[in-house]
Structure 1
């Protein structure tokens, strides 16, 4: 977990600097009508954090395997109108949610990392896998969509 926590802390501190260094045009431009802007991608990362906070908490005490409920990512971004929000608000939300995730991860007993969850189609993974997947998902969006020109 130490590596995951370090990676999360890195992005909590560095993503705001990266995003605020971009012009409003760069952060708000949609590459095509059906693609998110970089600002909306940061919003999507907030939505991912919201959903994963619930998962990381509930897996620790609910019956195993905990069944992961999916969410409609496109609708979450659209309904919350991230494109019209101030970037600073979205960045603050990103930081706050991921600080909460770090807090949760620090306090997960080691034996609970092997607790099982059903990620769909009766595929079972551990809580540790889900946490790692969360960070990899975040880094995929940051490295491949936000930080590229």
Structure 2
């Protein structure tokens, strides 16, 4: 049972940082981030309010919460990129994603606003990412919960994974 819950939590597995993150890897991750808003919109466009309440696992978030979480999370990620690009290894501000997912705008509001946010946010994010040099991708921030120094190229990989991870949650929830 525990193994099955882990598979439902992480349908594509946990993020695995490659030993070498080269330009091809970065470009592949950027394509995933660029395509995500349309893929998420396509997966959710015909869902009823009742279907948006489906969960991807027992005691997990609903499709609505997953979509709204992606908007929240990706806003935070873009801010982290900008902080790392404009400050010297800043310590970022974490947030409690589970508590955010329980707020009314995550739990009850239509996903339409989050899909619009993601569309515009990803357009800006990709524009920024395409302008970065290899040196820029080496810039980093500190995550205060782990004290880990996270480079922008690693964070890019984490968020490419994040896109595919939550897209799989939506697809799996639709099957339930």
TM-score by length of 1: 0.86
Which structure 2 segments of 5+ residues have no match? Answer: 1-25
Instruction: Evaluate the alpha carbon distance shift between residue 80 and residue 4 of structure 1 in structure 2; reply closer, same or farther with a 3 A threshold.
Output: farther
User: By how many angstroms is 1:79 displaced?
Assistant: 2.6
Mean CA deviation greater in 123-132 or 50-59: 123-132
CA RMSD of aligned residues (A): 2.0
8 Å Cα contact 1:59-1:116 kept in structure 2: yes
- How far apart are residue 78 of structure 1 and its match? 2.5
Q: Deviations over 1:42-65 (max 9, x none)?
A: 10000111111110011012112x
- Measure, in 2, the Cα distance between the counterparts of 1:54 and 1:87: 22
- Post-superposition CA distance 1:63-83 (Å, at most 9, x none): 12x223210112222234233
Task: Find the partner of 1:51 among 67, 71, 76.
Answer: 76
Question: Is the 2:78–2:125 contact (alpha carbons within 8 Å) kept by the matching residues of 1?
Answer: yes
Structure 1's unaligned 5+ residue stretches are none
TM-score (norm 2): 0.74
Matches within 5 A, 1:22-101: 22-30=47-55, 34-64=59-89, 66-101=90-125
> Are positions 1:127 and 2:152 aligned together?
yes
